[in-house]
């Protein structure tokens, strides 16, 4: 997330050192355009075995993908801080084995024990936020399957769509390499930079918002989606989410190298390699989101058969 503004200090409390991760974003990550592109692509991939109400909620799922960025309001500190660190993980700052922690609170304790000054800021919670919302979606589908009252079923449907739509935001964030690294907005100033990568602190927004909005279309994203059937990762979601984040992190230097060599300039014609990279990253987010939606439905089945027909 483009966390470029700092929260005003609270009277009587010492000001914490800034990492640039605090405060609201001037614009959402991937921009509304990129987030919605990824969600539309994910909706288009849904298998017909998904419940009818869920497939019919495509426009709402698209609308909800940028939703967590609408909560980034400086004047509403409690809300802003509650979710500020869910949008990223700085993998370089996470010691080996810590991501095996079973929940965000054990993870946080282990980070403190490892000596991180402010682990919520210095590491981030992205994989845990994805897992939490995935489990809420599974829980909703299970209750929907069991509910016999039509009115209550409609209430549960609303809950499922909301959770699944918000889940999409964080899955899409995870496909953007900036959200996985200390180099989240220009190459970290305290890190060696022998390749001469940009230290421009406008790079994050320039890539994920301005370049995408100027040069990408839904067709570009669709062109990078695989044609095979969606797999289910039910029962192995944590591993799948970690792979998704690691694959994105593996592209950090590719992102910086492309910026150095061909540029992500929204004001100039896009180099094919730059356009393809951005489209592939959005497609990776869309694919993972569709997999998680399908897996949540599959995991909610009362028997190992998985899937089943919806209403």
Tens digits of residue pLDDT in 251-292:
999 999 999 999 999 999 999 999 999 999 999 999 999 999
Q: What is the pLDDT of residue 24?
A: 42
Q: What is the pLDDT of residue 12?
A: 36
pLDDT category at 22 given cuts 50, 70, 90 is low
pLDDT category at 114 given cuts 50, 70, 90 is very high
Q: What is the pLDDT of residue 240?
A: 98
Tens digits of residue pLDDT in 64-87:
999 999 998 889 999 999 999 999
* Ranges of each domain in the chain: 31-299
Determine if the pTM surpasses 0.85. yes
User: Residue 100: what are its φ and ψ, rounded to 5°?
Assistant: -80, -5
- What number is the average pLDDT over the span 168-193? 97
Tens digits of residue pLDDT in 144-174:
999 999 999 999 999 999 999 999 999 999 9
DSSP conformational letter for 100: G
Residues whose CB falls within 8 Å of the CB of residue 62, separated by 6 or more in sequence, listed in order:
36, 39, 40, 43
CB 2 within 8 A of CB 29: yes
How many residues in the chain? 311
Paired with 186 in beta bridges are 184
Q: What is the pLDDT of residue 147?
A: 98
Q: What is the pLDDT of residue 25?
A: 43
Is 89's pLDDT higher than 80? yes
Exposed, middle or buried, 166 (CB in 10 Å: 0-12/13-18/19+)? buried
Percent of the chain with pLDDT over 90: 85
DSSP conformational letter for 5: S
Q: Architecture of 31-299 per CATH?
A: Orthogonal Bundle (1.10)
Structure tokens at 235: 């029962």
Tens digits of residue pLDDT in 126-150:
999 999 999 999 999 999 999 999 9
Q: What is the pLDDT of residue 31?
A: 75
Q: Give the C-alpha separation, 281 to 224, whole Å.
A: 9
Is 215's pLDDT higher than 90? yes
């Amino acid at each position: 997330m483009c966390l470029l503004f700092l929260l005003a200090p609270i009277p009587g409390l010492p000001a914490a050192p800034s990492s640039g991760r605090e405060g609201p974003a001037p614009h959402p990550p991937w921009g509304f355009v990129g987030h919605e592109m990824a969600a539309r692509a994910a909706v288009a991939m849904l298998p017909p075995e998904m419940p009818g109400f869920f497939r019919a909620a495509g426009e709402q799922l698209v609308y909800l993908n940028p939703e967590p960025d609408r909560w980034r309001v400086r004047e509403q500190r409690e809300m802003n801080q509650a979710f500020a660190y869910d949008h990223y993980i700085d993998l370089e700052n996470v010691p080996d084995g810590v991501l095996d922690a079973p929940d965000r609170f054990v993870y946080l304790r282990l980070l403190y024990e490892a000596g991180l000054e402010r682990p919520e800021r210095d590491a981030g919670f992205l994989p845990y936020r994805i897992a939490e919302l995935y489990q809420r979606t599974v829980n909703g589908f299970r209750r929907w399957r069991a509910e016999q009252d039509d009115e209550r079923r409609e209430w549960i449907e609303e809950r499922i769509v909301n959770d699944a739509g918000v889940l999409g935001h964080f899955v899409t964030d995870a496909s953007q390499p900036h959200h996985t690294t200390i180099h989240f907005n220009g190459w970290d100033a305290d890190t060696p930079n022998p390749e001469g990568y940009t230290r421009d602190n406008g790079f994050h927004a320039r890539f994920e918002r301005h370049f995408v909005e100027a040069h990408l279309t839904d067709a570009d994203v669709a062109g990078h989606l695989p044609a095979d059937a969606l797999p289910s990762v039910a029962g192995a979601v944590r591993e799948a989410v970690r792979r998704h984040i690691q694959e994105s992190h593996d592209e950090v230097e590719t992102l910086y190298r492309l910026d150095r060599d061909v540029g992500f300039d929204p004001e100039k014609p896009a180099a094919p390699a730059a356009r393809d990279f951005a489209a592939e990253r959005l497609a990776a987010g869309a694919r993972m989101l569709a997999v998680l939606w399908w897996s949540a439905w599959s995991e909610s089945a009362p028997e190992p058969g998985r899937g089943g027909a919806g209403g």
